[in-house]
Amino acid sequence: MITMPTIIIEGLKADVETKRELVKKITEVVREVYKIHHVTVIIHENELENVGVDGELLSDAIAKRKG
């Protein structure tokens, strides 16, 4: 039984309904394209202050935009 591929998603916090939908649809796409049935998806939910985009923490970028 081949259980590849494994998909790791480096994302932000999300509710369980979003994650359920994400896993369902990502799996459908991977099965369709790769023709492999067993797919593992791992979601890493990162805090806004643990992600930096273009040199700035997302938490800071969002605070500025709102400020």
Which of 26, 62, 30, 67 minimizes the C-alpha distance to 43? 26
Give ∠ CA 11-21-46 in degrees, rounded to 5: 15
Is residue 3 a contact point for its own copies (CB under 8 A)? Answer: yes
Q: What six digits make up the tokens of 19? A: 């994650």
Is 13 one of the binding residues for its own copies (CB under 8 A)?
A: no
Size of the site for its own copies (CB under 8 A): 53
Minimum separation from the CB atom of position 62 to its own copies (A): 9
| Rounded least distance, CB 14 to its own copies, Å | 7
Contact flag: residue 52 with its own copies (CB under 8 A): yes
